[in-house]
Structure 1
Amino acid sequence: MAMTGMRGLSVFISDIRNCQNKEQERLRVDKELGNVRTRFKNEKGLTPYEKKKYVWKMLYIYMLGYDVDFGHMEAVSLISAPKYPEKQVGYIVTACLLNENHDFLRLAINTVRNDIIGRNETFQCLALTMVGNIGGREFAESLAPDVQKLLISSSCRPLVRKKAALCLLRLYRKNPDVVNVDGWADRMAQLLDERDLGVLTSSMSLLVALVSNNHEAYWSCLPKCVKILERLARNQDVPQEYTYYGIPSPWLQVKTMRALQYFPTIEDPNTRRSLFEVLQRILMGTDVVKNVNKNNASHAVLFEALALVMHLDAEKEMMSQCVALLGKFIAVREPNIRYLGLENMTRMLMVTDVQDIIKRHQAQIITSLKDPDISIRRRALDLLYGMCDVSNAKDIVEEILQYLSTADFAMREELSLKAAILAEKFAPDLSWYVDVILQLIDKAGDFVSDDIWFRVVQFVMNNDDLQPYAAAKAREYMDKPAIHETMVKVSAYILGEYSHLLARRPGCSPKEIFNIIHEKLPTVSTSTIPILLSTYAKILMHSQPPDPELQNLIWAIFNKYESCIDAEIQQRAVEYFALSRKGAALMDILAEMPKFPERQSALIKKAEDTEVDTADQSAIRLRAQQQSSNALVVTDQRPANGALPVNQLSIVKVPSMNSGTDNSSADQAHLQPNGTLTKVDPQPPADLLGDLLGPLAIEGPPEAAPKSEQNVISGLEGSPVVVDGTAIVPVGEQTSSVQPIGNIAERFHALCLKDSGVMYEDPYIQVGIKAEGRGHHGRIGIFWGNKNTSPLVSVQALMVPPAHLKMELSLVPETIPPRSKVQCPLEVVNLRPSRDVAVLDFSYKFGTNMVNVKLRLPAVLNKFLQPISVSAEEFFPQWRSLSGPPLKLQEVVRGVRPLPLQEMANLFNSLRVMVCPGLDPNPNNLVASTTFYSESTRAMLCLIRIETDPADRTQLRMTIASGDPTLTFELKDFIKEQLITIPMATRVPAPAPAGPPVVQPPSPAAANDPGAMLAGLL
């Protein structure tokens, strides 16, 4: 920048640098902006020197990060100055402060065109540089012919032509119609004969953009590109200034090979041979050296050459050479090179006849699966998945299962899905497949979709020889003291159908099978109880004539759930109780499920469809499809008229950049909670977030059109705060109110007990969460769903975390497209125990409605608990060692919601506190244990004792003990709050009086009440 003699600017910069803190700097900047604004108001008295100086100051202030919302016109006006110093300032500051859509730029189009067609090369460079940076569609229509003339002019210096090529590239991207294919293809080929490497590199950038849209018109450029590579590979006629660490113009080599990847093939044998000779030289001459800069340049050329070799489907010998080279790269210490090696080896899988060569590096790839860098681990997983076949499936799947226990939570869902697909696709025998899936559920149950265990059930039902083995394995897993709920589902289902096949084995009598399944009932959620009730009915059926004691136990359970508020559970309990009285007829009614009709697995079909999609893409197109944003946008493909799309049913919910639909066979079936498979027509999701949040999504009541004439902004916990409509929308626009659907407080309390569900909903948007955690680290996916056919704009979200949580929310897109969902990850670290709650403050605009909502985020204390079962030998020494305050606190709690002891135990289990039966000799007391995780406490064991009074269930005595005094106090008060302040809607009605069982469906309000949905759990 020409600042010579600008003493005022130099003094201002010195003042800024001498500021002691940010506040001083801001005050100095505000003072200077006020001075500049005052001087610009009296623009007639400004000399060109003064205007230039003040515009430089504006640019410097802008570079410091401050908003500069005035003076744009003065900057643009300097473009038309006759002298270079003022014109230079005008072009530079305009390019920095304005964007392509700014209205002031229209005023400068004629001046810019005059500079481009003028004789002054310096002015031409200034104009071309600015247009190349911020030129828009209007510039493209006005200036493209003049820029093309400069590019092909033989009288222009290379400096001007180089800038003209880059300028034309910008204009072509803004409006492809400005480049006439018929008249420009030959000119483009002539430009590739250019001797000046600067012009040639810029022209090659232009060619890449042209052939990416239409390669047919530029076949004449293909041999010219090969000649350029030959010229560079021979290292002749390359000036020293274009040689980077001994590599002749690596940028031009990369661009040229990228352009060649857009041509489908090379038919001329001489051209093809010449190109392969160049590629062979690149492959042979690249190695890892100590100099980082040389490594970066040489590997940029090498990996582009690998992509071109794959694209051209070279001879097997060259392919083998490529794989060997990549195998060397995945073993080096430099993580960037390992990443590139794994990524390109994965792309090599698309080429035929190299899979066997890649298998030689399987051990090194498995080692990469344990790399500290998660990006490398992901690439290694992709490669293992792609190279798997019958010969190595067992080893790869076992490695994935072993890795699951230590894998990051961010990878477990992907690992589980891929392990399930590989196990099914390449299983050497069905018993191994059953073993793999059960291990998968045991190690990563939270990340295993229901469709995976549905598939196991189908295999077991369709193979008679497999049924005793599967029942025995399910019996083994049920012996474990703590298993995942999905394991309870699949084991209970299989044992209900086939436990009679194990009757002669020790520990497998109907009563023993019933007892071991019934032990899990207090730990499961409402959605699993119907499966267990079906299992009890099946056990009763298989034990005909029934054992009276077993029959009475099961009947007592049916009686208990006859008054359950959940309609599904209530109906099953009533019907099974009635059916179980029919004696031998029960054998026909509850007979074994018939075999499933054979059809291709939805999981395997999904994998094959993905392989077909990727096989049709060249490496360059795969790279172009990569997404740079953290936000996950899934567009709802349902037509606006409500018609059902074909093949809507999705078998496995996998996060994907594609639409939420799945091309599975339309002849799909749902496995019902009792295990029955019913054929269903594809239906759209019940709500916008339902397919992402799974079955745990909590529905609100139907939308109600609010009738208030003022805008309503939802405050904390959804309490509406009425504000003046003119403060939200411009005067003259019609205002409308926006009120939440459902009770936000009840949604919050429900999500404190669940890991996923809807947190907020109104007529326009639905906000949900899906959480996962490991130790004191957590990850919450926040879903923003647009329910309408118009976009939501001005979307903003701010997380206000309490002092004990460290939170990082990824950027929320400003616009949510119509009928689409956006996922924004939120990383959470728990620093220390506390009951304070984070607040999510988000706003959006729909039409004339500006809505602002503040929600409590259910990242509460119990989310960092992990239930743990302790024996008497472990419990009592710990309990005695924590003697008295502040590590052991006791309090008599009054005003407790009266709960039967079993339901209180269920509540504790839902809070991730495991009730340990048999530790307290008093049957009216509960003893429980859990582990709390935070950065300050690490894994801290917590012990709890609840003493209840059978005569007065509204009070109890609670004793909490842990090794951290703050944790003891916070956990005590947290559990106290849960026992006292749980919404009334979660209460369970009293048992029905004796008499014939009557099904009592819940009221419509209760059916849509998220609190009521938890009744089965509590």
Structure 2
Amino acid sequence: MALSGMRGLSVFISDIRNCQNKEQERQRVDKELGNIRTRFKNEKGLTPYEKKKYVWKMLYIYMLGYDVDFGHMEAVSLISAPKYPEKQVGYIVTSCLLNENHDFLRLVINTVRNDIIGRNETFQCLALTMVGNIGGREFAESLAPDVQKLLISSSCRPLVRKKAALCLLRLYRKNPDVVNVDGWSDRMTQLLDERDLGVLTSVMSLLVALVANSHEAYWSCLPKCVKVLERLARNQDVPPEYTYYGIPSPWLQVKTMRALQYFPTIEDPNTRRSLFEVLQRILMGTDVVKNVNKNNASHAVLFEALALVMHLDAEKEMMSQCVALLGKFIAVREPNIRYLGLENMTRMLMVTDVQESIKRHQAQIITSLKDPDISIRRRALDLLYGMCDVTNAKDIVEELLQYLSTADFAMREELALKAAILAEKFAPDLLWYVDVILQLIDKAGDFVSDDIWYRVIQFVTNNDDLQPYAAAKAREYLDKPALHETMVKVSAYLLGEYSHLLARRPGCSPKEIFSLINEKLPTVSAPTVAILLSTYAKILMHTQPPDQELQNQVWAIFNKYESYIDVEIQQRAVEYFALSRKGAALMDILAEMPKFPERQSSLLKKAEDAEADTAEQSAIKLRTQQQTSNALVVTDVHAPNGSASYGPVKIPTNHNTETALVVQETAQPNGTTAKLDPQQAPPSPDLLGDLLGPLAIEGPPDTSAIIDQNLVSGLGTSSSTIDELALATLGEQPNSVQPIGNIAERFHALCLKDSGVLYEDPYIQIGIKAEWRAHHGRLVLFLGNKNTSPLDSVQALILPPSHLKMELSVVPETIPPRSQVQCPLEVVNLRSSRDVAVLDFSYKFGASMVNVKLRLPAVFNKFLQPISMSAEEFFPQWRSLSGPPLKLQEVVRGVKPMLLPEMANLFSSFHVVVCPGLDPNPNNLVACTTFFSEATRAMLCLIRVETDPSDRTQLRMTVASGDPTLTFELKEFIKEQLISMPAVSATPVAPAPASASAPAPAAQPAPSTTDPGALLAGLL
């Protein structure tokens, strides 16, 4: 912008630059805004020069980041000025200050149109620039025809036509219906004959947008695009100003090849031959040079050419040439070029049959796996994974295992999963497969999902020849002093089932096996303890006649865990102790696991889903075909234990036990709490009270001015509001379908666990299984048709709150009879909020149309992860968060009365861990957790609860975090739980020992409330 002659504006800018701090700048800006407002009120005395000066100042203030909420009319009025200096200011400032929905824009549509259709080229350019910048439907409907006329006009200079093409592109992107395809496709064909490369580049940008939306009407443009490429490849009639480092207009080449990729094929043999000649010239003429700018331009053209070669499925010779060229690129030192080489080689592998050619570069790809740049390592891993087959699987998997010990933590989980998938998919023999998986668990146990060790158990169970070898390998790993808990699970399970096959080997007697496993018992979590108890029972079963010393040792452990706080472990201990007294009959009760039915590996299913969702593959294939549903219809849904299943394979401890004990697939909250016994706690100062004041409960501070409290509650919604968020049937037909079970209770249950039934009626069952990691979540909806007729007109719509980004796969319109459909739902938590997402689901069965709205359990506590802290870690954090809004305190009344251990269990159920010993007062508890969102990443949260022993219905709660909104949301969330949710019992009740005639009810939960597939099991 030209500021010459505007002394007042220059002085104002100098004043702003000379301000010593932000406060001085704000005062100077406020003073100037007040002056401008005063002058605008007396507009009659303003000269055009003064009005222009003040509008420039407004724009400068706006660019500094301050709100400018007046003077818009003065800026808009300058557009009508007859002279260029005022008109220029009006157009520029209006473009910056006003958006497409502003009412003032309607006032200037006629003026803008007059400038566009006028003969003044400068005014035309100003008008086109503003229309392109603002866009909007009103501009599009009123001005698009005039912009089109300018573009095809032979009397306009190239400068105006370039701007017209880009303006029309902007209007088309905002409102595609402004371009009438029927009458415009022939015009586009003519425009591609343009000799001016500036106009041609702008027209090609417009063509890319048009064919991306629908290529059908623009087939006549295809040969013209090829001619443009020929002209550029031969450097014919290309002015020097459009030649960049010796490359004729690289931008136009890239746009043209991108436009060609939206056409599914090229049928004309002459056109195809001409295009391949151009592509061949590009492939042969591109090499790495020292000049970075030339490299960037030539590689932009080259990689677009590679994408076009893959899209057109060129001859094998050209494909091999592309691979050879990429092989050169992955060997150079420049990391950007190596990255592009690996990425394009991976894309080529996905869409063409060039695996043998790529294998020649395997050594170089493995070298890239050790590159300092993690993005290059990721691309090398993707490529190795894609190029693996039976001929090179051993080499690649061994390289991945070797790399695993030094790989970044950010890559280990993906690395472990891919190594496990390759080992299963291309294993030359099962012994090698077992070796690989056990090595994988040993080297990267924290990053090995349960699916991986479930799968190896399936293989061993189903192959008798494999069982002695697997048991021997498990025995070897137990000798290691430090063993990951997942390895303890696998070894314990294998030795429990098959250790009797090693009885004659040294060091493998039942006593020695028991002793080795029992050494690990104090170090493992509750779910692993449950597996170890099953292993001990199996060892006793295989030791017949019983070894009295071994039996007494095992019984002592069972007796110890009979009163354990975890109900699952407690029940196992009680029942195994009772069963182990049956003597030789134990052999029949705890017989060896039966073979698992053959079914698709959950690991391979994961791999297929990942390949289907690969961004590189989608980017190419979406240009030629419509996206298909990735919902999987399962018509035979049975888990290894005979029940219906909808997720990773569950490993049962025994199929024949009368009580049907099953190893829990996922870790349950262990519920352990340490009571703050006043007799044990030494007297110490109240370190937490430094900012909280006395422990007597007082009224809460007024936080209403800090954060708006009118938010939709997540878990704490009372049952009276269920009609709004978890409706049953909306239809008013006389045969209205009623849900089975309480929808609200199902929702609340799923808020505290990750799998179960969300909704059920006589025709359909909707189950959910979820995985949560940091601020990401993946839910799978299981839509089960319970009848012998199909469900039609199935529709599912997610209504997400603003803080959740949710994407549901395509749901099929029909669910076949007695089958189950799986629909993945991806969730990203953007920020802290207790609002809930709603699933709007409908289907038709016969004459019944059912529509339900169901709350989804993607709730606040799913993004919490417990973290335990010592006093040395806790108190510095607590003191650093001083007062509102980062630290909020409130007296909560109407609390459901509960003892402190019960409250600790409740906190644990929604992923907040109580830290014992931090508060010397036995009536208080201190807890910690970590909240994950895209905005805050991992944010530490600290909580203190002070209870009143004389009145359990009230307490004082203090919540602190580094984010004001998070602090408020967490405080409100915990308050809801304390008031509306049932407490988690802290005192376990030991069940009576099981007998053959009365199996324990806790071992077999009601199918309609826990397992989405269980109710289908009898039907299928």
Match of 1:584 in 2: 584
Give per-residue Cα distances to partners, 1:461-498, cap 9 Å, x unaligned.
01111101111111111222222211111111111100
1:444 equivalent in alignment to 2:464? no
Match of 2:476 in 1: 476
Cα distance in 1 between the residues matched to 2:506 and 2:38: 95
Contact 1:166 1:202 (C-alpha < 8 Å) held by counterparts = yes
- How many residues are treated as equivalent by the alignment? 781
Q: Superposition pairs for residues 790-809 of structure 1, below 5 Å?
A: 790-793=799-802
Q: Superposition pairs for residues 374-773 of structure 1, below 5 Å?
A: 374-611=374-611, 617=617, 619-620=619-620, 670-672=649-651, 674=653, 695=667, 738=713, 741=716
Deviation for aligned residue 1:592: 0.4
Give per-residue Cα distances to partners, 1:768-820, cap 9 Å, x unaligned.
99xxxxxxxxx982358999964423789xxxxxxxxxxxx996499996567
Match of 2:25 in 1: 25
Query: Which stretch shifts more, 411-420 or 535-544?
Result: 411-420
Evaluate the alpha carbon distance shift between residue 125 and residue 696 of structure 1 in structure 2; reply closer, same or farther with a 3 A threshold: farther
Cα distance in 2 between the residues matched to 1:181 and 1:524: 67
The structure 1 residue matched to 2:774, chosen from 781, 785, 792, is 781
Contact 2:347 2:617 (C-alpha < 8 Å) held by counterparts = no
Which residue identity is paired with 1:225? C
Cα distance in 2 between the residues matched to 1:127 and 1:27: 36
Give per-residue Cα distances to partners, 1:703-728, cap 9 Å, x unaligned.
xxxxxxxxxxxx99x99968698997
Cα distance in 2 between the residues matched to 1:560 and 1:96: 74
Which residue identity is paired with 1:533? L
Contact 1:531 1:675 (C-alpha < 8 Å) held by counterparts = no
Cα distance in 1 between the residues matched to 2:270 and 2:504: 77
Evaluate the alpha carbon distance shift between residue 433 and residue 271 of structure 1 in structure 2; reply closer, same or farther with a 3 A threshold: same
Cα distance in 2 between the residues matched to 1:137 and 1:86: 27
Deviation for aligned residue 1:399: 1.3
The CA RMSD over aligned residues, in Å, is 4.8
Contact 1:192 1:200 (C-alpha < 8 Å) held by counterparts = yes
Deviation for aligned residue 1:295: 1.1
Deviation for aligned residue 1:990: 10
Cα distance in 1 between the residues matched to 2:637 and 2:40: 64
Match of 1:630 in 2: none
Q: Superposition pairs for residues 343-354 of structure 1, below 5 Å?
A: 343-354=343-354
Q: Superposition pairs for residues 897-912 of structure 1, below 5 Å?
A: none
Deviation for aligned residue 1:424: 0.2
Contact 1:461 1:595 (C-alpha < 8 Å) held by counterparts = yes
Deviation for aligned residue 1:69: 3.2
Cα distance in 2 between the residues matched to 1:327 and 1:841: 57
Cα distance in 1 between the residues matched to 2:832 and 2:211: 32
Query: Which stretch shifts more, 339-348 or 787-796?
Result: 787-796
Which TM-score applies when normalising by structure 2? 0.68
Evaluate the alpha carbon distance shift between residue 91 and residue 348 of structure 1 in structure 2; reply closer, same or farther with a 3 A threshold: same
- DSSP 3-state at the match of 2:527: coil
Cα distance in 2 between the residues matched to 1:186 and 1:227: 17
Which residue identity is paired with 1:374? I
Contact 1:574 1:998 (C-alpha < 8 Å) held by counterparts = no
Give per-residue Cα distances to partners, 1:33-66, cap 9 Å, x unaligned.
3322333333333322222212211222222233
Contact 2:540 2:551 (C-alpha < 8 Å) held by counterparts = yes
Deviation for aligned residue 1:137: 2.2
Deviation for aligned residue 1:97: 2.2
Cα distance in 2 between the residues matched to 1:892 and 1:227: 77
Match of 1:75 in 2: 75
Cα distance in 2 between the residues matched to 1:307 and 1:12: 53
Structure 1 gaps of 5+ residues are: 626-634, 638-643, 652-664, 679-689, 700-714, 743-760, 770-778, 797-808, 844-854, 863-890, 898-909, 912-983, 1009-1018
Contact 1:132 1:167 (C-alpha < 8 Å) held by counterparts = yes
Match of 1:181 in 2: 181
Give per-residue Cα distances to partners, 1:118-139, cap 9 Å, x unaligned.
2222111111111212202222
Evaluate the alpha carbon distance shift between residue 562 and residue 229 of structure 1 in structure 2; reply closer, same or farther with a 3 A threshold: same
Deviation for aligned residue 1:70: 3.1
Cα distance in 2 between the residues matched to 1:573 and 1:198: 81
Cα distance in 2 between the residues matched to 1:80 and 1:290: 53
Evaluate the alpha carbon distance shift between residue 377 and residue 14 of structure 1 in structure 2; reply closer, same or farther with a 3 A threshold: same
Which residue identity is paired with 1:425? K
Give per-residue Cα distances to partners, 1:796-850, cap 9 Å, x unaligned.
9xxxxxxxxxxxx996499996567699999x9x9x974334879899xxxxxxx
Contact 1:39 1:46 (C-alpha < 8 Å) held by counterparts = yes
Deviation for aligned residue 1:298: 0.7
Contact 1:350 1:615 (C-alpha < 8 Å) held by counterparts = no
Deviation for aligned residue 1:998: 12
Cα distance in 2 between the residues matched to 1:825 and 1:183: 57
Deviation for aligned residue 1:674: 2.8
Which residue identity is paired with 1:456? V
Which residue identity is paired with 2:215? H
Contact 1:496 1:536 (C-alpha < 8 Å) held by counterparts = yes
- DSSP 3-state at the match of 2:220: helix
Cα distance in 2 between the residues matched to 1:146 and 1:785: 49
Q: Superposition pairs for residues 862-881 of structure 1, below 5 Å?
A: none
1:14 equivalent in alignment to 2:14? yes
Evaluate the alpha carbon distance shift between residue 95 and residue 192 of structure 1 in structure 2; reply closer, same or farther with a 3 A threshold: same
- DSSP 3-state at the match of 1:86: helix
Cα distance in 2 between the residues matched to 1:739 and 1:669: 28
Query: Which stretch shifts more, 493-502 or 118-127?
Result: 118-127
Give per-residue Cα distances to partners, 1:331-386, cap 9 Å, x unaligned.
11111111111100001102443111111111111111111211111111110100
Deviation for aligned residue 1:183: 1.0
Evaluate the alpha carbon distance shift between residue 603 and residue 256 of structure 1 in structure 2; reply closer, same or farther with a 3 A threshold: same
Structure 2 gaps of 5+ residues are: 658-663, 672-691, 718-745, 755-771, 782-796, 806-827, 840-855, 888-906, 930-982, 1010-1020
Cα distance in 1 between the residues matched to 2:358 and 2:652: 44
Deviation for aligned residue 1:233: 0.7
Give per-residue Cα distances to partners, 1:137-169, cap 9 Å, x unaligned.
222222211111111111111111111111111
Which residue identity is paired with 1:296? N
Evaluate the alpha carbon distance shift between residue 210 and residue 833 of structure 1 in structure 2; reply closer, same or farther with a 3 A threshold: farther
Match of 1:248 in 2: 248
Which TM-score applies when normalising by structure 1? 0.69
Contact 1:767 1:785 (C-alpha < 8 Å) held by counterparts = no
Cα distance in 2 between the residues matched to 1:677 and 1:142: 78
Evaluate the alpha carbon distance shift between residue 859 and residue 391 of structure 1 in structure 2; reply closer, same or farther with a 3 A threshold: farther
Deviation for aligned residue 1:429: 0.9
Cα distance in 2 between the residues matched to 1:353 and 1:13: 63
Which residue identity is paired with 1:576? Y
- The alignment-based identity, stated in percent, is 76
Cα distance in 1 between the residues matched to 2:121 and 2:864: 51
Which residue identity is paired with 1:332? V
Query: Which stretch shifts more, 86-95 or 75-84?
Result: 75-84
Give per-residue Cα distances to partners, 1:90-130, cap 9 Å, x unaligned.
21122222333333333333322222222222111111111
- DSSP 3-state at the match of 1:267: coil
